[in-house]
Structure 1
Amino acid sequence: MTDRSLADALTGRLIVSCQAPPGDAMRDVDTLVRMTRAARDGGAAAVRVNEPAVVAATVAAVDLPVIGLWKDGDTGVYITPTVRHALALVDAGAAVVAADATARPRPDGSTFAELVTAVHEAGALVMADVSSYDEGREAARLGADFVSTTLSGYVPGSPQQSGPDLALVAELAAALTTPVVAEGRIATPAQAAEALAAGAASVVVGTAITAPTALTRLFVTGLRE
Structure 2
Amino acid sequence: MNSLLKKLEGGLIVSCQALENEPLHGSTIMSKMAIAAQEGAAAGIRANSPADIKAIKQAVDLPVIGLYKKIYQDSDIYITPTMKEIGEVVEAGADIIAFDATFRVRPGGQQLDEFVKEIQSIFPSTLLMADVATVEEGLHAVSLGCDLVSTTLAGYTPYTEHVTAFDKKLLSILVEKSGCPVVAEGRVNTPGLAAECIRAGAFAVVVGSAITRPQEITKQFTKEISAEK
Query: What residue is the counterpart of 1:57 in the other structure?
Result: 55
CA distance in structure 2 between the aligned counterparts of 1:84 and 1:160, rounded to whole angstroms: 32
List alignment gaps of at least 5 residues for structure 1. none
Q: 1:191 to 1:159 in 2, by over 3 A?
A: farther
Alignment deviations for residues 113-147 of structure 1 (CA, whole Å, 9 cap, x no partner): 34434444423111000000000000011111100
Query: What residue is the counterpart of 1:181 in the other structure?
Result: 183
Summarize the alignment of residues 131-150 of structure 1 with structure 2, pairs less than 5 Å apart: 131-150=133-152
Q: Is the 8 A contact 2:154 2:163 kept in 1?
A: no
CA distance in structure 2 between the aligned counterparts of 1:160 and 1:94, rounded to whole angstroms: 33
TM-score calculated relative to the size of structure 2:
0.92
Q: Is the 8 A contact 1:7 1:179 kept in 2?
A: no
1:41 to 39, 43, 47: 39
Query: What residue is the counterpart of 2:97 in the other structure?
Result: 97
Alignment deviations for residues 129-167 of structure 1 (CA, whole Å, 9 cap, x no partner): 000000000001111110000000111222634431111
Summarize the alignment of residues 83-122 of structure 1 with structure 2, pairs less than 5 Å apart: 83-120=83-120, 121-122=122-123
Alignment partner of 1:195 is 2:221: no
Task: Tell me whether 40-49 or 152-161 shows the greater mean CA deviation.
Answer: 152-161
Q: Is the 8 A contact 1:119 1:125 kept in 2?
A: no
Q: CA RMSD in A?
A: 1.6
List alignment gaps of at least 5 residues for structure 2. none
**Structure 2 residue identity aligned to 1:83:** M
Query: What residue is the counterpart of 2:216 in the other structure?
Result: 214
CA distance in structure 1 between the aligned counterparts of 2:223 and 2:85, rounded to whole angstroms: 37
Alignment deviations for residues 20-56 of structure 1 (CA, whole Å, 9 cap, x no partner): 1331110011000000111111101110000011111
CA distance in structure 1 between the aligned counterparts of 2:100 and 2:113, rounded to whole angstroms: 11
Alignment partner of 1:14 is 2:12: yes
Query: What residue is the counterpart of 1:30 in the other structure?
Result: 28
- Equivalent pairs counted in the alignment come to 223
Q: Percent identity?
A: 44
TM-score calculated relative to the size of structure 1:
0.93
